[in-house]
Amino acid sequence: MSNPDIKHDQINDDRVYFFDKPRNVKILMQVFYALCALLVVLDFVINRYTYHPLENLWAFYPIYGFLGCVVLVVIAKWMRTFLMRDEDYYDKVEERRLQEISPARAHEEDDHVGH
Amino acid sequence: MWAIELPPFVPFFIAALFAAFTRGWLRSAILLLTPVLGGLHLMTVTEGIYWQTTLLGYELTPYKVDSLSLIFGYAFHIAAFIATLYALHVKDNVQQVAAPLYAGSAMGAVFAGDLLTLFVFWELLALTSVFLIWARRTSRAYFAGIRYLIIQVLSGVILLVGLLFHAADTGSLAFGAIGTGSIGGWLIFLAFGIKCAFPFLHTWLTDAYPEATPTGTVFLSAFTTKVAVYALARAYPGTEMLVYIGAAMACFPIFFAVIENDLRRVLAYSLINQVGFMVVGIGIGTALSINGAVSHAFNDIIFKGLLFMTMGAVLHMTGRINGSDLGGLYKTMPRTTIFCIVGAASISAFPLFSGFVSKSMVMSAAIEEGYDWVWLMLLFSAAGVFHHAGIKIPYFAFFAHDSGIRVSDPPINMQLAMFIAAALCVTIGVYPSMLYSLLPYDTGYNPYDATHILAQTQLLFFSALAFVWLNLRNMYPPELRSTNLDVDWVYRRLCPGIIQGAVARLAVIGELNNALVHKIGALSPTLARQFGPDGALSSTHPVGSMVKWVIILLAVYLILSFI
């Protein structure tokens, strides 16, 4: 079953938008890096109380957040090697079953745009 | 004073009846006014029992109000209003009738004071919501809806058996703390677990929600799982197993969410992840953690609804929802982009957004009660949820590579609904005391201290940094047109495969049998002639001839007895 819902084709658009300019992206990223650095520095400035011994480690939350996400993505990518199938993996079988149950229905469907 | 005694589900059922026979602005007015008036009325209702009756010697309480059910009642009225407004342009009668019935069933379930009433609304939730899936009218939606219905009704049947055991044990149907001390308790726990999307029982959600209509998914995301969370909070607070189940629910879906292409399915996985936080809160069972679970349910109804609305708007306007087909939509859908970012910030629990003021309660409770590993898992999934729901959803839909699609923002009613949800996310984030005053317990909790804010901000910014770094290194998994196998493979592929295999085996055995018959025929032509078709010994005899022979035998017997 291909995309039954598609309504709009791609059109040509010559306007230049905010993130089309590499300079804007660069500024945004630099602000982001600066904020990250600031947050690590604040770790030493703000005297925070802790509930858990791990929280006393140097920059625990930044490191945990960063490593956590890298591990998450690496594992998820590895999961693709055995979990990923074709887009119509289930549809093939189910479409065939629908044909058997009700051939008329299988033909008339997918004319709708999903709402 | 009659209005006081009218249970909150009744107006919604009446509205559904009217919606079936009205059209145009009249129907819109009825559908919109119902949650508004119902919500205003609910604010005047105080705790207590309003309706009691007796059935077969059991006391039933179809309408009971306490602080726990009230906050869910408020949340459901808000959700019903926002979702109705969002779906106002829909002309499809099926959806416009099913939606208020579904919302009403959720109201009925949270104000049910006994298990039998709960069971009735539990099944009604399933029966009414499935039409929001079928209304998409694709074969995928058709099959997903059937699977959804089977699993949901199964959950109801297990609940019914459980409540019968429970009633036999205790002699009461009252819906209070049940606990896992008996067979009935376990069965009810399982029934709640199915609707709550426990690990391995979760696939109905990720299977069906993304196949529903753009507006239908907004309704679906608000009610079913939250009714289950409410039921767990009432019947199983402090059940330690829930802590570990919840931690697993918070963690495993984020892996699937990272590699999923359908952005609404990504949100469905992150819905399970958020429900995981609530389940952990219920499992810990302290005043703080229950408050955290309930308030997170309240917030999740709004921000998850908002995210589903923005993705519904994308689907509605572009007809596409796969991350691989989208990108660059910020150029012509600026408002939807902003609403999506607000929703993403809320679900990621950024300070000043609604997720922050509720999620931190569950985390604090976990660490206070000494669940160190669970706390680390929750922290990991808090970083992960930002990664997939906070960044991936807005990034692949509205930014990333330019797909060349140029569509405008959606119709005004959709924008308005998204605006209200976004405004609520920010308001609750900035003034959490509004939400806290509704909670079942008074804990004096304050989320806004330097420690919490700094820790959470550091966690989120460095998760974002990881996303940037992985993208720059080209290590981030690209969006691919694909299906990822999940537990539903067992009943969509493995079991049908086994059954088909068994049928094929039987057919082979049948053929062997036939062959054997021919062999025997060849072996003994005489036997084959006698027993085969038209053979003397296999011919049939009419009843009359049997009777004739019986009469003859009896006559002979009679004659013999005289001799």
Chain A residue nearest residue B490, CA to CA? A90
Beta-bridged to residue B484, according to DSSP, are A84
Residue found under tokens 């001390």: B181
What ipTM describes this predicted complex? 0.81
3-class SS letters over B252-277: HHHHHHHHCCEHHHHHHHHHHHHHHH
| A69 vs B318, B328, B383: nearest CB | B383
Considering the entire predicted model, what is its pTM? 0.87
| B462 vs A1, A3, A62: nearest CB | A62
Q: How far is A114 from chain B (nearest CA, A)?
A: 5
- Contact between chains at A68 and B383 (C-beta distance less than 8 A): yes
- Contact between chains at A114 and B315 (C-beta distance less than 8 A): yes
- Contact between chains at A93 and B496 (C-beta distance less than 8 A): yes
Q: What is the dihedral of CA B275, B280, B284, B288, to 10 degrees?
A: -50
Q: What is the dihedral of CA B138, B144, B150, B156, to 10 degrees?
A: -110
| B367 vs A8, A51, A69: nearest CB | A51
Per-residue pLDDT of chain B (563 residues; tens, 9 = 90+): 444 578 889 899 999 999 988 888 898 999 999 999 999 888 888 888 878 788 777 888 888 998 899 999 999 999 999 999 999 998 888 999 999 999 999 999 999 989 999 999 999 999 999 999 999 988 889 999 999 999 999 999 999 999 999 999 888 888 988 888 889 999 999 999 999 999 999 999 999 999 999 999 999 999 999 999 999 999 999 999 999 999 999 999 999 999 999 999 999 999 999 999 999 999 999 999 999 999 999 999 999 999 999 999 999 999 889 988 898 888 889 999 999 999 999 999 999 999 999 998 999 899 989 898 999 999 999 999 988 888 889 998 998 888 888 888 898 999 999 999 999 999 999 999 889 988 888 888 888 888 888 889 999 999 999 999 998 888 888 888 888 888 888 888 888 888 888 888 888 888 888 888 777 777 777 777 777 777 777 777 788 888 999 999 999 998 888 87
| A36 vs B407, B461, B481: nearest CB | B461
How many residues make up chain A in this entry? Answer: 115
Residues of A whose CB is below 8 A from B315: 5, 114
Spatial neighbors of B526 by CB under 8 A, at least 6 apart, are none
Q: How far is A108 from chain B (nearest CA, A)?
A: 10
Per-residue tokens: B2 = 């009659």
Among A12, A31, A32, A66, the residue to mutate for chain B (most B Cβ within 10 A): A66
| A13 vs B325, B406, B465: nearest CB | B406
Q: Is B500 exposed, middle or buried (0-12, 13-18, 19+ CB in 10 A)?
A: exposed
Backbone angles phi, psi at B468, to 5 degrees: -60, -45
Residues of B whose CB is below 8 A from A86: 482-483
Q: How far is B321 from chain A (nearest CA, A)?
A: 9
- Contact between chains at B319 and A91 (C-beta distance less than 8 A): no
Q: What is the dihedral of CA B425, B430, B432, B433, to 10 degrees?
A: -140
Residues of A whose CB is below 8 A from B414: none
Structural contact between residues B434 and B357, judged by C-beta atoms closer than 8 angstroms: no
Q: How far is A79 from chain B (nearest CA, A)?
A: 8
